[in-house]
Structure 1
Amino acid sequence: MIAIEHLTKRIGETTLVDDVSMVVDTGTITVVVGTSGAGKSTLLRMINRLITPTSGRVLIDGQDTMDIPEDRLRHRIGYVIQGNGLFPHRTVAGNIATVPRLLGWDQKRIRRRVEELLDLFQLDPAEFANKFPRHLSGGQQQRVGVARALAAEPRLLLMDEPFGALDPIIRGKAQADLIAIQRRFGTTIVLVTHDMEEAFHLGDRIAVMNDAQLLQYDTPAQLLTRPAAGFVERLVGSSDRPFRLLSLAKVRDAMEPGDAPGEPIDPDVNLRDALSRLIWAGADRLPVAHGNDTATAHISVSGILSHGRPPQ
C-alpha cells in the first residue's frame, strides 16, 4: 500500500503539487489524470524521490521513503516513461537485465528472468534478445520498456504517459498487455495520463488533478455518476457519459437467460462494444457464449441501455 500524506512541492513562488493526500491499495491500478501542468508527473516522481517534496511524506507498506536509501528505493520500484528510455547501445536482453545486474543477480537467474519476460510479452527470445532498440517497432520498444521495469520483480510500478507516443492499435494492445501483467503478478501500478479513455479503461481508481491540487479520487463509476462540480465534471464529459459507463461493465453483468439467434458474444466483452455489435447486426438481442460453449443466455439492446443508465 502507498500512503501519500499532504505532499507538497514548491519551487520559489510556484506550487507544483499542493497538499495532496491519497491511498493506493496493494495490487491495484491507480491512474492520475489532468491537463498539462496539473502536477501529475511531479507527484509520480516524488513517490520514488526523483523529486524531493517540500513537505509531506510517502509511505510504502508503512515505511517512509525518506528513510530508505535512494538506490535501494528505486531498485524496488519499476519506472516507465513515455518513449521507453531504452539504452540504445544495449541489446534487448541487456536493457531488461539492467536492474538485476545492479542488484548482483547471478547470470543464470538473469538469463532466466529475461527469457521469462520476453515470452510473457510475446517476443521470442531467440529472435529479440540480441536485437538493439533501433531494430524494434514502437510497440515492441514499449513492451521491452515495461519488461525492463518489471525485471527485478518490483511490487510497485510507476508509469508516466507510457503509451502516449503509440498509434491507437498498438496502444490498445499495450494497454491489454499491462492489464494481463498486472493480474498475473498483482503489481501495484500508478500511471499518469492525460487521456480519460485510457484512465477509465485501466484504472481501479482515478485521481483527477488540476492546478497542482487533487480534486477527486474515486472509482471510474463514481467519477462518471458523481463527478465533483466544475473541472472534474467538465473533464469526464456529459453527452458521452452513459457510453463510458457501458465500457466499465461486461456482457456477463447484463446478460439474460434464454437463447437468441445470431453470432454469440463473449461474456467478457464490455457493454459498449456489445451494443455496437447489436447495432451492426441489426439485432435487438444476440446469444452469449464463451468459445465453443453452447449459448444459454442472451444480451439485448434494452438490457444494455438499462444497465448503462446512471442512478438518479
Structure 2
Amino acid sequence: MIEIDRLTKRYGATLVVEDVSFNVEEGTLTVVVGTSGAGKSTLLRMINRLVEPSAGRVLIDGEDTRTIPEDELRHRIGYVIQGYGLFPHRNVADNIATVPRLLRWDRKRIAQRVEELLDLFQLDPAEFAHKFPHELSGGQQQRVGVARALAARPALLLMDEPFGALDAVIRSKAQDDLIAIQRRLGATIVLVTHDMNEAFHLGDRIAVMDQARLLQYATPAELLMRPADDFVERLVGTVERPFRLLSLTPVREALEAGHAEGEPIAASESLHDALSRLLWTGRKALPVADSSGAIIGRVSVDKILQHGRPLP
C-alpha cells in the first residue's frame, strides 16, 4: 500500500499542494485529475522525492520514503513523463535496460527482462530491440517508456500525463494497453491527467484536485453518483454523467428475466455498449449470455435507463 499522509508543498507564501492525504491499494490504478495548476504534478513528484515536501510524508508498505536513500527510492519507483524521456543515443534494448544495469544485474538476466517486456508490449524483440527512439512511432515510444519504467519491477509506477502527446486513436489504444498490462502484472500505478474521460477510463479510484487541495477521492461510480461539491460535479459533467455511469456498469447489473430476440450480448460488457446496440438495431431488449455462451436472461432499454440515473 502507498500512503499519502498530509503532503504539503509551499513556495514562499504560495501553497502548491495543501494537506493532501489518500491511500493507494496494491495492484490498483489511481488517477489524479484536476485543472491546470491544481498541484497534480507537484504531488506526483513529491511521492518519489523529486520535489521535497514542506510537510507530510509518503509511506510505501509502511516505510517512510524519507528514510530510503534517494538512489534506492528511484529504483523502487518507476516514473513515466509526457514525451517518455527516452535516451535518443541508446537503442530500445539499452533504454529498457537502464535501471537493471544501475542495479548491476548480470547480462543474461537483463537480456531476459528486455525480451520479456518487449513481448509483453507487443514489440517483436528481433525487430525493435536495436531500433533508436527516432525510428519509433509515438505509440511505440510510449510503450518503450513504460517498459523501461517497469524493468526493475518497481513497487510503484508514477505516470505524469503519459498520453498527452499522442493523437486520439493512438491514445485510446495506449490507454487500453496500459489497463491490460496493469492487470497482467498487478502493478500499482498513480497517473496524473487533466482529461476526465481518461480518468474514468483508467482509474480504479480518482483523486480530484483544485487549487492545491484534494476535493474528493473515490471510485468513478461514487464520483458520478455523489460528487463532493459543485466543482467536482462540473468536472464530471452533468450531461455526460449518466453515460459515464453506464460505461462503468456491466450488463449483469441490469439483468432481468425473460426472452429477447437477436444476437446476445455478454454479461461482462457495459450497459453503454448494450444501449448503443439497442438503439442501433431498434430493439427494446437483447438476450444476455454468460462466459460460456449460455443465455441467462435479457437486458432492456427501460432497465438500462434506470441505471443511468445518478442517485439524488
1:43-72 Cα deviation digits (max 9, x unpaired): 000000000011111111111111100010
**TM-score when normalising by structure 2:** 0.95
> Secondary structure at 1:170's aligned position in 2?
helix
| Conserved? CA contact 1:287–1:299, under 8 Å | yes
* Mean CA deviation greater in 210-219 or 258-267: 258-267
1:145-180 Cα deviation digits (max 9, x unpaired): 111111111121100011111122211211111111
1:193-212 Cα deviation digits (max 9, x unpaired): 01111111111111111111
> Secondary structure at 1:36's aligned position in 2?
coil
State the partner residue of 2:103.
103
Q: CA deviation at 1:292?
A: 8.0
Q: CA deviation at 1:85?
A: 1.0
State the partner residue of 1:260.
260
> Secondary structure at 2:265's aligned position in 1?
coil
State the partner residue of 2:79.
79
> Secondary structure at 2:27's aligned position in 1?
coil
1:112-161 Cα deviation digits (max 9, x unpaired): 11111111111111111111111111111111111111111112110001
| Conserved? CA contact 1:250–1:271, under 8 Å | yes
Give the AA of the match of 2:84: N
State the partner residue of 1:248.
248
* 1:54 and 2:54 matched: yes
How many residues align? The count is 312
| Conserved? CA contact 2:226–2:311, under 8 Å | no
| Conserved? CA contact 1:31–1:207, under 8 Å | yes
State the partner residue of 1:299.
299
* Mean CA deviation greater in 281-290 or 109-118: 281-290
| Conserved? CA contact 2:83–2:162, under 8 Å | yes
1:52-108 Cα deviation digits (max 9, x unpaired): 011111111111111100010010111111111111111111111111111111111
Q: Distance in 1 between matches of 2:113 and 2:285?
A: 47
Q: CA deviation at 1:221?
A: 1.2
1:30-49 Cα deviation digits (max 9, x unpaired): 11000011000000000000
Note closer, same or farther for the CA distance 1:297–1:170 as it changes in structure 2 (3 Å cut): farther
* Mean CA deviation greater in 207-216 or 175-184: 175-184
State the partner residue of 1:274.
274
| Conserved? CA contact 1:31–1:192, under 8 Å | yes
| Conserved? CA contact 1:259–1:296, under 8 Å | no
Unaligned runs of 5+ in 1: none
State the partner residue of 1:15.
15
State the partner residue of 2:213.
213
Unaligned runs of 5+ in 2: none
> Secondary structure at 2:266's aligned position in 1?
coil
> Secondary structure at 1:162's aligned position in 2?
coil
Q: CA deviation at 1:247?
A: 1.0
1:252-288 Cα deviation digits (max 9, x unpaired): 3223345532233233322112211211111112233
Give the AA of the match of 2:143: R
Give the AA of the match of 1:217: Y
* Mean CA deviation greater in 6-15 or 253-262: 253-262
Note closer, same or farther for the CA distance 1:197–1:76 as it changes in structure 2 (3 Å cut): same
Aligned pairs (5 A) from 1:138-217 = 138-217=138-217
Note closer, same or farther for the CA distance 1:70–1:185 as it changes in structure 2 (3 Å cut): same
State the partner residue of 1:113.
113
Q: Distance in 1 between matches of 2:256 and 2:156?
A: 39
State the partner residue of 1:38.
38
Q: CA deviation at 1:291?
A: 7.9
Q: Distance in 1 between matches of 2:12 and 2:264?
A: 61
Note closer, same or farther for the CA distance 1:9–1:285 as it changes in structure 2 (3 Å cut): same
